[in-house]
Amino acid sequence: MKFAYYPGCSLRGTGRAYEDSLLAVFRALDIELEELEDWNCCGATTYLSFDELTSYALSARNLAIAERMQLDIVAPCAACYLVLNKTQHYMHDYPHIDQLVRGALKSIGFDYKDRVKVRHPLDILWHDIGVETIRSKVKAPLKGLKVAPYYGCQIVRPYATFDDQYAPVSMDRLLEAAGAEVVSYPLKTRCCGGSQKGSLPEIGLDLLSYLLIEAKKCGADVIATACPLCQFNLEVFQSEVGSRQRPISMPIVYFTQLLALALGAPFSDIGFKYSVVPIQPVLRQKEIACA
C-alpha cells in the first residue's frame, strides 16, 4: 500500500505535530508514503475566495503530479483535503472550469486524466487497514483516557466521501481500537470558526467556547482533532474562553498522535513537544507512559 503524501503548508508549519505523528502511524502500519514531488499550496480558503479559477488550477497541479506518480494522494490537512476534492468535483460539474484547468496543466506539460483519488488518513486507516489490524498492533493501549473525537466540518461536508456528514464514526472507532474511551461528543462536526477568530472575534470565540465547554461537560480528558486550524483554535484561545466561564485547560492533540502513542512510537517523536497545553499531566494521571 503506497500513497503520494501531500503535507500542505500547515503540516510543515503550525501542524508539525500532525506530520510527525502521521508518519509514525503509517510507518508502524507499513503504509508507504512518497512525498508529492514539488507540491504547491492548495490555495485553501484564502486563494479560493480571491481568484477562484486560478486557485483550481493551482490545486489541480498537485493532482496532476500525483497522477504522474501513479499514486493516490493522502491529504491529512482538512482544508487541503476539501480543496483537492472540491477541485475534482468542480472540474467534473463545470465544463468551463475543466477546460481552463486542463489547459493550464497542459501548458506546463501535464496531460491530466483525472484518475487520482484524494484520500484522508481517517479513510485509509478505517477502510483500508481496518480497526482489527490496528487493534492487533497496539502496544500501549490508552486505557482510561477519555477522548472527545472532533472531526471539524471540512472533512465531512459537503462531500461525505468516507463517513457520515453529521455523525461520523471513523475517528471514534480508531481511537477505541487504540484502547481509549471515546466519549459521546454531540458537537463532533460543528465548525470551530476557522479563521473567524481573527476576522470576527466575537463569533469565533463563541463557536470555540461551545466546543470546549461541551467537551468538558462530556467528561473528556483530551480532544482529538484532524485539522491543523481546529487544533490551533481549540488549543490557543482557551484562556479567553475560560475566563468567561470557568478556567479551561484541555490538551488538544491530533488523533494520529494518540494512535502513534498507542502503536508504541516514542513520546518525544510525535509532536507533543509543540503542545501549548501539555498532555503529560493527563497521561500521568491515567498511568499512560509519556517518557
Partner 1 sequence: MPEQVTTSENSVRDPARIGVYVCHCGNNIAATIAVDEVAQYAAGLNKVVVSREYKYMCSEPGQAMIEQDIRDHGLNRIVVASCSPLLHERTFREVLSRSNLNSFYFQMVNIREHASWIHDNRAAATEKAKDLVRAAVRRVALHRPLEPRRVPIDPAVLIVGGGIAGIHAALTIANAGKQVYLVEREPTIGGHMAKFDKTFPTLDCAACILTPKMTSVGAHPNIKLWTYSEVMKVDGYVGNYKVTIRRNPRYIIEDLCIGCQECITACVYKAGKVDDEFNLGLSKRKPIYLAFPQAVPQKVVIDPENCIEFKSHRCKKTCVEACAERGAIDLNQKEEIKEITVGTVILSTGFKTFDPRRRPNYGYGRFQNVYTSLEVERLINASGPTGGDVILRDGTRPQSIGIIHCVGSRDHNTNRWCSKVCCMYSLKLAHLLKEHTGAEIYNFYIDMRTPGKNYEDFYDRMLDEGVHFVRGRVAEVSDWAAHPSEKGKLIIRAEDTLAAFVRRIPVDMVVLSVGMEPKEDAHDVRRMFNVSCSSDGWLTERHPKLAPVNTLTDGIFICGACQGPKDIPETVAQAGAAAAEALSLISAGCIDLEPYTAKVMEEVCCGCKTCIPMCPYDAISVDEAKQKACVNEVLCKGCGTCAAACPSGSIEQNFFEDEEIFEEIAGVLTHA
> Would you tell me which residues interact with partner 1 (CB under 8 A)?
164-167, 186-187, 190, 210, 214
The four Cα atoms 199, 203, 207, 213 give a dihedral, to 10 degrees, of 120
Judged by beta carbon, residue 74 or residue 211, the one nearer partner 1 is 211
**Contact assessment for residue 189 and residue 168, using Cβ atoms and an 8 Å cutoff:** yes
Shortest spacing between CB 161 and partner 1, in angstroms: 14
Shortest spacing between CB 165 and partner 1, in angstroms: 5
Shortest spacing between CB 193 and partner 1, in angstroms: 15
Shortest spacing between CB 69 and partner 1, in angstroms: 35
Judged by beta carbon, residue 146 or residue 190, the one nearer partner 1 is 190
Judged by beta carbon, residue 13 or residue 186, the one nearer partner 1 is 186
Shortest spacing between CB 247 and partner 1, in angstroms: 20
Judged by beta carbon, residue 157 or residue 286, the one nearer partner 1 is 157
Judged by beta carbon, residue 41 or residue 169, the one nearer partner 1 is 169
Shortest spacing between CB 187 and partner 1, in angstroms: 6
Please tell me the distance from the alpha carbon of residue 81 to that of residue 198, in angstroms, as a whole number.
Answer: 23
What is the phi/psi pair of residue 261, to 5°? -60, -45
In angstroms and rounded to an integer, the radius of gyration of the C-alpha atoms of the chain is 19
Burial class (CB in 10 A: 0-12, 13-18, 19+), 46: exposed
Judged by beta carbon, residue 175 or residue 187, the one nearer partner 1 is 187
Judged by beta carbon, residue 186 or residue 266, the one nearer partner 1 is 186
Q: Residue for cell digits 485547560?
A: 249
Shortest spacing between CB 166 and partner 1, in angstroms: 5
